[in-house]
Amino acid sequence: MISLEKRLESNISWVLFVYSLACIVGFIFTAFLLWSSGTDIPKAFFALYKGSLSSKKAIFSSLNYATPLILTGLATVVAFRAQIWSIGQEGQVYAGAMSAYFASLMFYGAPLWIHLLLVIAFGALGGALLGVLSAVLKNKFHVNEVISTVMINYIIIFFLSYMVGGGPWTEISDVNTTVYQQSDPVADYSKLPYLFGSTKLHLGFLLAILSAVACHFLIYSTPFGYEIRAMGHNPVALGHRGTNTHKTLLYILILSGAIAGLAGVTEIFGTSHRLKSEALYGLGYTGIIVGMIGGLTPLGTIIAGIIFGGLASGALYMKVLAKVPAALVPTIEGMFLLFFLCAGVAARYKIVVTGKDV
Amino acid sequence: MSELFQEAVIISILAGTLRIMTPILFAAIGELVTQRAGIWNMGVEGTMIMGAFVSYVVATQSDSLPLAILSGILSGMVMGLIIGFMTSTLRVDHFITGLGLNLLVGGLTFFWFRIYVKGGHPPTFTGLENFSIPILASIPILGEVFFNQKPLTYIAILSVPVVSYFLYRTRWGLEIRCLGENPKAIDIKGLSVALRQYIAIIIGSGMTGLGGAFLMLGFSDRFQPDLTAGKGWLAIVAIIAGKWLPKGVFAAVLVFAFLESVAVHVQIIDADIPYQIFFALPYLASIILLILLRRKTNQPARLGVPYFR
């Protein structure tokens, strides 16, 4: 029988060893997958390097890919730190993108910075509204947040599919066919501006980093941050202390939803410049992995987000140069998550094998 | 829209309900066994995709549907083994394990699928045939709805009383239910908690894999990446809405299947109402069901709580 014994003191070098081992095993499995698909492995890894790190352009592309992942990762950190298993980030990204798109049409003609601020604010608002919805379902009706958020994700994805596939936002040339399911391109002046002149790194990246720093201070240095962490450790004690845990849950889900909504804004107005499901799909679910691998800390999430952004950017080159299917990326991400989870157990517990099972 | 109320369409909607019910019911009844053993398995969706994909590959390679179904079940069991290892042996959080596995399998099957077709057209297979029960199938309306289905549909319905008997009338069933309420009682008797949890999740995931195989072989002739489209999640909702009782789960699955069948028919008829609204209905209904049925839940007390001695 295998049982676990808690390690009394944490040993930094052991922890580092375990997590590096998880990375190495992850790479071996990745190489094995590539080999089993008949890919030239050195060529594939070279393509990965070329698409993610080799030039300024590649690095900026990686950071652009990292932007929404850092944001959805942060949304995960805020909720999961409080042991609220909201997986509504996916739907909140969609909601944020849609309400920001609405704002970009609604406030067309406003002065540039006011327009951009409204677009960004509406994006956060859209995500936050979905957060409110799951919080109310949990607080008032005791609906498990995992279930409610997943169901809302599916509903909102169908909603976008209608809005750009036959509904009012369908691309004008596409109304009768609705093949592509996308909106018209966003107006030039609604696009998030590039940070350094001609290079393509957009404002969203700055927004993501600032959000992460803000989350860091919020979680570790404010009373609300204390409540988030206390909720994760012992919600009953938090209630006895006099905190209204229903309110805390509501605020946490609003914050988490707003951050995820921003991810939708950065993706639509920074990168794809059109409202379409294809651009948004999976950002929320990947964010869960990013937040988890970042150790549920804001700064760890930045690092994990950038690594995964590089992976996504490099995957384009791997597809073209080494004919590796792009679906390799979510596979690698899921694999690393599971290995990190196992490593987390090995870091915290001693694994003891005793006697026989009956 | 009025076309929806013609007799032929109504019969087709009802027959479709039973067909769509089949994979969700297999997954829900299987997952019920898992959850009664205290494991909050969120990996149903991923297990289902895996079952569907493996059965697709075997069906196209071997041309043998029984073999394809069997391999779907086996792949589900392997998934169950992994989930059991993570949740029962390593005591990783049950939610995170399931979510991680869903993401991994979603990507992995898509990756394998791309490699399998090598950029060409996906190979196809001939799916499961309907089986008309003699005499009964010739009853007007009822015959077409109930007695002209695929054999696995009957097996799915039969699995409800069988699993019910297993859980409530056998020693193993009692022990599994005990794990969900008070695993310490099993441990104190000197019985292995882990062994029984593994058995429960392997049975459950095997049934989910079977559901995935039916989803593949009963509806389509080729794989597509988002084949399950949330059916695994609906299975989990059906368990909560059905208050962890076999009959209740069955009823909830029927509701979802009916709504989905309506959605499919609306899309075919090409009504003026956007078809997306109808496709969103099962998910909307699941939230409403959970709100309405929130009183008197029968949730196993230790569901999702890792057991430490």
* ipTM metric: 0.85
B11 lies in some domain: yes
User: Who contacts A63 (Cβ-Cβ below 8 Å, separation ≥6)?
Assistant: A201, A205, A306, A309
**pLDDT tens digit sequence for B148-179:** 788 888 989 999 999 999 989 999 989 989 88
- The confidence score (pLDDT) of residue B3 equals 64
pLDDT at A206: 94
Which of B111, B192, B297 is closest, CB to CB, to A328?
B111
Pairwise pLDDT comparison (B251 vs B143), residue with the higher score: B251
d(CA B259, CA B289): 13
pLDDT at A246 exceeding the cut of 70: yes
Q: What is the pLDDT of residue A122?
A: 96
Residue B32 has pLDDT above 70, yes or no: yes
Range B55-59 average pLDDT: 94
Alpha carbon of residue B283 to chain centroid: 15
- Residue A350 φ/ψ, nearest 5 degrees: -90, 135
Judge whether residue A355 has pLDDT over 80. no
Instruction: Indicate whether B141 belongs to any domain.
Output: no
Predicted pLDDT of residue A34: 85
CATH number at residue B163: 1.10.3470.10
What pLDDT score was predicted for residue A347? 82
Contact indicator for B171, B196 with CB cutoff of 8 Å: no
CA distance B183 to B20: 36
The phi-psi region of residue B104 (left if phi > 0; otherwise alpha if psi is between -120 and 50; otherwise beta) is: alpha
Q: Which amino acid is at B181?
A: E
What is the average pLDDT across B219-239? 86
Q: Is B207 a member of any domain?
A: yes
A193 to chain B nearest CA, in Å? 33
Instruction: Quote the mean pLDDT of chain B.
Output: 87
Identity of residue A88:
G
Residue B1 pLDDT: 55
pLDDT at position A96: 96
Number of residue pairs across A and B with CB atoms under 8 Å? 143
Q: What is the pLDDT of residue B89?
A: 87
Residue B290 has pLDDT above 90, yes or no: no
Of the partner residues A3, A325, A341, the one whose CB lies closest to the CB of residue B86: A341
In a domain, B65, yes or no: yes
- How far from A96 is each of A205, A264, A266, A288, CA to CA, in Å? 17, 5, 10, 17
The larger pLDDT score, comparing residue A319 to residue A212, is at A212
Contacts of B86 in chain A (CB under 8 A): 338, 341-342
For residue B84, what are the domain limits?
Answer: 2-119+152-292
What phi and psi values does residue B147 have, to the nearest 5 degrees?
-110, 15
Rounded to an integer, what distance in angstroms lies between the CA atom of residue B79 and that of residue B104?
A: 11
Q: Please check whether residue B257 is in contact with residue B17, taking contact to mean a CB–CB distance below 8 angstroms.
A: yes
Is the Cβ pair A334, B279 closer than 8 Å? no
- Amino acid at the residue B201: I
A187, pLDDT greater than 90: no
Whole-number pLDDT of residue A93: 96
Enumerate the domain spans of chain A. 38-324
> For chain B, how many structural domains are there in total?
1
Q: How confident is the model at residue A42 (pLDDT cuts 50, 70, 90)?
A: confident
Whether pLDDT at A178 is above 60: no
Residue B297 in any domain: the answer is no
CB contact under 8 A, A4 and B91: yes
On whether residue B160 sits in a domain, the answer given is yes
Contact B99/A87, CB-based, under 8 Å?
yes
Site from A142, A155, A289, A323 to mutate, B interface, most B CB atoms within 10 angstroms: A155
Sequence-distant (6+) residues with CB within 8 A of A112 are A189
**Residue B309 belongs to some domain of the structure:** no
A75 CA to centre of own chain: 7
Chain A CB contacts of B113 below 8 Å: 327
Which of the four pLDDT bands, split at 50, 70 and 90, describes residue A176?
low
State mean pLDDT over B300-306.
80
Q: Which CATH architecture has domain A38-324?
A: Orthogonal Bundle (1.10)
Question: Over the stretch B84-125, which tens digit does the pLDDT of each residue have?
Answer: 999 888 888 888 888 889 888 988 998 889 888 877 788 888
Interface test with B, best of A69, A83, A145, A154 (most B CBs within 10 A): A154
**Residue B299 falls within a domain, yes or no?**
no
For residues B168 and B126, give the distance between their C-alpha atoms in angstroms, rounded to a whole number.
39
Does residue B91 sit at the A interface (CB-CB below 8 Å)? yes
Whether B236 contacts chain A with CB within 8 A: yes
Contact A2 B194 (CB under 8 A): yes
Q: What single string gives the DSSP state of each residue in B73-135? A: HHHHHHHHHHHHIIIIIS---HHHHHHHHHHHHHHHHHHHHHHHHTTSPPP----PPPEEPTT
Which amino acid, one-letter code, is at A343? A
